[in-house]
Structure 1
């Protein structure tokens, strides 16, 4: 028994060493011929576009390309997408590629890697062009951390002038686009150029794997830092023909904290100069054919909202009771109804499924914690959810009026949500239409028993006299 166990451990160790050497050798066989990175800092959500031209110098085909991120980037990484490109100009096409998280034991300083799975293996001497998009949240640090009503907001952005990569990079360039031309300072890594709102780092030639050159950019950014600390979206299905959506927001301003006294007079007379980084308007993009829209907070209904709706889209412009400065918060509720036939369908196997949009309806916001609850009708069975990205899933039960066994609730939860997560998801379940008669029959039975009791009471003589 001990001999067999020793043989198994030796075999396992051999496999691990082989995989480690294979990963290391594959990293050395691939080379990035050219890398161009464009970092967009015009919003409080950092958007990075990365174009990679990869060449296989080894003898064996390569089926994946690795992306490396620093620990600071991983902490704020909200989304990573990749696509393979073919053609040029108007004939250029993009084919989405799968991305998986991988662990590399030889990655230095806590570097995290993701694997881009190629559609076809890259043979010796072949090249491939990849387009990568990733989003970073809470990556702009306000400095100073507190500002008065009349001051503009300045922020720090930290990154590397050189692309962090597990491969040898033959040539690379980094472009950084800021909100305005007001740039207080930036790190110089020759060659570095600045023109208007754009900084250019590079080109840099022949950089070794995992090369890193830290940079710091200090610039003005008065874009509204709208952060939804928590959003709970409850989608309730009624098979009588309606879909009721209730959204509970806990909103905050994630920029530099406001100091001093707030002057309403100065804010209204000098809107461009007083409170430049504050915001008082938000735009919610709702589904078309929306109806029965309401917008309220703990005090009551808020009348400062405007709805524009047609058969293609619906836009709700809301205004909180007070403008939001750095560190200020607001809580409110948005509710609306939708026609059920636009979102509920029947699958080929006879099951029903809801097709709805995941994410936050508010434009250009970060959601630290998003909870989507799909409340099914009583009698629904075997609910399952399909989402395009990883989310936490669980089942709950909700009791409403005239419910006997309760309504199944599919709960989907995700942290660090950005606008790219506003994609459709589906909830499949089985439902017998006979359950639609349960509540009407209960009401009829209750009224029937009430009238029977009333008639019996009127016709029964309960007096003690004869």
Structure 2
């Protein structure tokens, strides 16, 4: 009864969202574009919701259109981690994709609380023309555990709410939605017009001739025992040394964001019945590191943790780490991973003489959400005019760090981003100017110290400090 009441409340809330969207949509709906066919596939296999959207858009107006708007309801605004779009070229085996720029769009006359993204077309869509666009967007923290607390022997149930009809500022002639669940264990799902279920897939549609901002709220309550691994905060420091090494230090604050564990934890039951006891917990993490990694260590507040395995080859390195205890819902763990890399694999020189670091953004842990990621690139002392090039919006600022034998300190380029998913693991660059003469600063300082110490010793041996005549 309590579960049904919660689902009803969520459904009422979704209806309220729908009414708020319709409140001011009339002035925004465009008569220039029309979606001829739309297919949406929602993958709920992990705790990161992946949505694949294929749109065939037609220009019914008289002037060319250079962009296509995507609309998201207020319930998804804070959970959007990534939006990508591309135009397919070719057919079947020869099919390729041309990426499109996607930017956040401000629509002052849009419905309250809705968020828009603008897909910029490579060439303006002429009047009467059509184009097919494929979109991928990801949502984090969109699967809500219910019940909120489970015992060690219970499976984890979550619910996901969306709309059976695609929210769009354009008229949609035909559309269909497929939702994939991790298993066939579905407690309940909203049954509206043209609903069908087969195995792990729920189909909504096809629907014909839907007006702009049509909305049909749905809720799916299903079993999902995949690890809900969330890094609340990750600080990644990349220190550049022109003497030939790149040192990486990563500090993690990890939490299991699934249904909270209740009762007493029994390790005997956990080990004797692994297929039943703690099925939603996890005790292993896989970190994908760059090739040719060396000097790897893994430790927490207590000290070094030896339960880790490193596999390396010429193309990749995989570090399998095991925390001191398995993580159940609500449990947390803090640890540090450090390793070294050869400098020549990541530091290059541009055509204008500037040096630049080419490194991977994001978190190396597989299938993990990072609520807040901070990357600190520590440049060598004497570096000037630093600048960062990142393929998506991030916050940037500069700091100064003092290390051994530093005089003026080292410039640190700080990059911050929230709501990071594995697809953010893209290369980024940090450019800076550096005069090689600064590489001699520390050796000369050490040589000067030893030289003056030697002079002091010689002077001491040749000076008579006695008071006798």
- The reply to whether TM is greater than 0.5 is yes
> Is 2:358 aligned against 1:355?
yes
Aligned residues of 2:166 and 2:214 also touching (Cα < 8 A): yes
CA RMSD of aligned residues (A): 1.4
Q: CA deviation at 1:90?
A: 1.6
1:436 maps to what in 2?
439
Deviations 1:398-443 (CA, angstroms, capped at 9, x unpaired): 0001100000000000000001100000000010111111101111
> Is 2:449 aligned against 1:446?
yes
Q: CA deviation at 1:92?
A: 2.2
2:278 maps to what in 1?
275
C-alpha separation in 2, matches of 1:337 and 1:104: 47
Q: CA deviation at 1:312?
A: 0.5
1:329 maps to what in 2?
332
2:170 maps to what in 1?
167
> Is 2:52 aligned against 1:65?
no
C-alpha separation in 1, matches of 2:322 and 2:94: 44
Q: CA deviation at 1:91?
A: 2.6
C-alpha separation in 2, matches of 1:458 and 1:139: 77
Deviations 1:346-387 (CA, angstroms, capped at 9, x unpaired): 000011000000000000000000000000100111100000
> Is 2:148 aligned against 1:145?
yes
1:255 maps to what in 2?
258
Aligned residues of 2:28 and 2:169 also touching (Cα < 8 A): no
1:156 to 155, 159, 173: 159
Q: CA deviation at 1:71?
A: 1.0
2:132 maps to what in 1?
129
C-alpha separation in 2, matches of 1:207 and 1:92: 31
Q: CA deviation at 1:455?
A: 2.0
C-alpha separation in 1, matches of 2:399 and 2:170: 47
C-alpha separation in 1, matches of 2:116 and 2:237: 35
Structure 2: which 5+ residue stretches go unaligned? 1-23
Q: CA deviation at 1:24?
A: 4.4
Q: CA deviation at 1:85?
A: 1.7
TM-score under structure 1 normalisation?
A: 0.94
Secondary structure of the 2:34 match is strand
Q: CA deviation at 1:111?
A: 1.6
1:119 maps to what in 2?
122
Farther-moved stretch of structure 1 (456-465 vs 40-49): 456-465
Q: CA deviation at 1:189?
A: 1.1
C-alpha separation in 2, matches of 1:329 and 1:69: 32
2:385 maps to what in 1?
382
Shift >4 Å, 4+ stretches: none
C-alpha separation in 2, matches of 1:286 and 1:216: 38
Q: How does 1:27-426 map to 2 (within 5 A)?
A: 27-426=30-429
C-alpha separation in 2, matches of 1:89 and 1:177: 24
2:17 maps to what in 1?
none
Aligned residues of 2:236 and 2:374 also touching (Cα < 8 A): yes
2:10 maps to what in 1?
none
- Between the two proteins, the alignment pairs up a number of residues equal to 446
Secondary structure of the 1:51 match is strand
C-alpha separation in 2, matches of 1:279 and 1:398: 37
Structure 1: which 5+ residue stretches go unaligned? 1-19
Secondary structure of the 2:179 match is strand
Secondary structure of the 1:231 match is strand
Secondary structure of the 1:28 match is coil
